[in-house]
Amino acid sequence: MNWSTAIRYRARSVIGKTVSIGKRLMIVGVAALVATVPMLAQSSDLQQRLAAVKQSAAENQQRLHEYQWIETTQLTLKGEAKPLKQSLCQYGPDGAVQKTPMGPPPEPPSGRRVKQRIIEKKTEEMQQYMGQVKSLLGMYVPPDPQKIGQAYQAGKVSLNPAGGGVTLVFTDYAQPGDQMTLFFDTAAKKISSVNVNTYMDDPKDKVTLTVQMASLPDGTNYAQQTVLDATAKKLQATTTNSNYQKRDAY
């Protein structure tokens, strides 16, 4: 092999290797693009769905401030049903729900003074616990548009198609380790149900919430019934909201 032939052979070899490397890089690039396109589409879809959920929640929250309603709570402690409690509810100037008890006050405990003190102490402890539970419930229902946005920015939201809508799953929504699942009716543009797995101060004190939403004649969405299970306390609280009326009607 002479000198010129050797040069041509080496040139063809280099060109062949270059083409081969180029092909491999092109294949890798195409594969990466194919893998990226669904991810971008899913991210875009998630953004659109979240924007719809946030808008729906914000508008709905504003409408709810125009109403008064009756809240009825049924407690079951260790399998024993407690007397129903009713309150007239409305939003105050600070945005928090104000509750006015309805009906006669609870009867004082009967029996000897020592027994009365024990009952009073247990009742006070339970009322305090229920107050904490209500505060916990308020962290999730109604869903907060700001927290929804924060969860998305933190990458704590997943989207799953479901019949008639989508399911949005939020992790670390209000507390580390919690999970909130929303079903969003895409046709009605409303949240139709909420399920929460969370806890009180101690993660061992688990609490689950199941919320069924309903709509008023003007389209305002509200939590029709909430079932709360506090397994550590063997407590179940079923709260039903009804008799919604515009506040200026009173």
167-206: pLDDT as tens digits: 999 999 999 999 999 999 988 889 999 999 999 888 888 9
- Please tell me the distance from the alpha carbon of residue 200 to that of residue 100, in angstroms, as a whole number: 25
- Please tell me the distance from the alpha carbon of residue 182 to that of residue 192, in angstroms, as a whole number: 8
pLDDT over 70 (residue 4): no
Confidence of residue 41 (pLDDT cuts 50, 70, 90): very low
Nearest 10 degrees: CA dihedral of 68, 138, 179, 172?
Answer: 140
Q: What is the mean pLDDT of residues 142-149?
A: 86
Structure confidence by residue, pLDDT tens digits, 55-75:
888 888 889 999 999 999 998
The pTM for the full model equals 0.71
pLDDT at 46: 82
Tokens encoding 199: 């806890």
pLDDT over 50 (residue 34): no
pLDDT at 31: 41
The fraction of the chain above a pLDDT of 90, given in percent, is 35
Confidence of residue 36 (pLDDT cuts 50, 70, 90): very low
Helix pair 3-64, 145-153: axis angle to 10 deg: 170
Confidence of residue 162 (pLDDT cuts 50, 70, 90): confident
Poorest-confidence range of 9-23, 102-116, 146-160, 234-248? 9-23
pLDDT over 60 (residue 7): no
Report the chain's mean pLDDT, rounded to a whole number: 80
Q: What is the mean pLDDT of residues 27-47?
A: 49
Confidence of residue 104 (pLDDT cuts 50, 70, 90): confident
Poorest-confidence range of 38-42, 76-80, 103-107? 38-42
